[in-house]
Amino acid sequence: MRLHRNLVFAVIDSLRDIFNEDVYADKAVEKALKRDKRWGARDRKFVAETIYDVVRWKRLYAEIANVKAPYSRPDLWRLFAVWCVLKGIQLPDWNQIEPTPTRRIKGKFDELLKIRKFRESIPDWIDEVGVQELGEEVWTKEIAALNKQAEVILRTNTLNTTKAHLQKQLASEGIDTEFIKGYDDALKLVERANVFKTEAFKKGFFEVQDASSQLVAAYLDVEPGMKVVDTCAGAGGKTLHLASLMKNKGQIIAMDIYESKLKKLKVRARRNGAHNIDTRVIDSTKVIKKLQGKADRVLIDAPCSGLGVIRRNPDSKWKLQPEFLDKIRGTQQEVLQQYSKMVKSGGKMVYATCSVLPSENQQQVEFFLASDAGKDFKFVKDEKVLSHKSGFDGFYMALLERK
């Protein structure tokens, strides 16, 4: 493989932004891909995948390269040189690339593979929390699975098409997909591709949504005609799935504290042909009080550490801090206490997170059920989705019913 200077410079600049300027990796990649309109699909793939690769293995590569944050430009080139050596890519004779001790790099790599925190390239504290909550054996398997590149999974928008028709439409546009056993509306891309440029996307035939995430809306057991509240809707991935499951009948109230996210949901809803969604910004407690005891179903897709989705957000390993984890557990319980009030008698509620930690999941549910607000609810069932078992994101969901 021959390296091209303009592509590699785009990678180096992006790594500087991510590691030193705290820019989110997806935003840095988005910016990098706009640098040169002449780049073809292969060029764009190299830039995006190399950035994500170095971000994912930052700790391992930094240890081998003997560099520390904040990274100077020569440090970033050293990280890149380590990536090249470990990928078997011949280093070009450029001024930016220092003489690189290939044998020493490979020797150091073999040595570090014996230590999990380096092998899986994670901060000490995340490794400690993982072992504490999941146990040595499960955590070792789980973090290895969470470090694999996420596949691209689509969810068929059944308001506009069927899974079989979507597969044919994508095939006609040069994109091959496979069904996934046990996931009714999911299609998996055989090879990564920019699906957002397809006619199928423009026609609202699908949304990009991981297979584990597709389980959540179905877990809520909705039916057409119901009044459903999605309390932490964000840009609306699960809201749109609920609209499909409800066949556009009934009412979905999508709520979030960020108006900007709900604006994105409105755009997506128009493309999806979802007409039964109302959006409400949670700017005071009045919004919740107005719906007290009125919802047939309530979805709480709670804010969390995101440890279950680091396959697609590898930079979150470096942005996450121990104090955030403590704070978010408090927020999760607060959200459960407040939003559960909207469930009517005989109604159901799902509490879900994209975390694999019991302290954010089943322990939160147990704490809620033991509280005054939870005494009117009964536990129906829950599901713990671990990445090393499912092959997809780590998730948790619990179904509760109001007595």
> Within 10 Å of residue 6's Cβ, how many Cβ atoms?
12
Mode of pairing for the β-strands spanning 186-189 and 153-156: antiparallel
Do the annotations mark residue 326 as ligand-binding?
no
Q: Which of 84, 232, 304, 354 is catalytic?
A: 354
Cβ atoms 54, 61 nearer than 8 A: yes
Per-residue b or e along 85-97, where b marks 16 or more CB atoms closer than 10 Å to that residue's CB:
bbeeeeeeeeebb
Nearest to 18 by CA among 60, 44, 54, 42: 54
Sheet containing strand 206-208, edge to edge, reads 177-179, 186-189, 153-156, 206-208
Q: Is 354 a catalytic residue?
A: yes
| CA 395 to each of CA 122, 133, 146, 226, 301: distance values in angstroms, whole numbers, following the listed order | 20, 15, 12, 26, 10
The 8 Å CB, 24+ separation contacts for 59-67 are: 59/117, 59/118, 59/121, 59/122, 59/123, 60/109, 60/112, 60/118, 60/119, 60/121, 61/121, 63/108, 63/112, 63/118, 64/105, 64/108, 64/109, 64/112
Q: List the structure tokens of 127.
A: 């490794």
Q: List the structure tokens of 212.
A: 């584990």
Do the annotations mark residue 256 as ligand-binding?
yes
Burial (Cβ within 10 Å: 0-12, 13-18, ≥19) of residue 155? buried
Do the annotations mark residue 301 as ligand-binding?
yes
> Within 10 Å of residue 183's Cβ, how many Cβ atoms?
20
Active site residues: 354
Q: Which residues are annotated as a binding site?
A: 256, 283, 301
Q: Which residues are annotated as a binding site for S-adenosyl-L-methionine?
A: 256, 283, 301
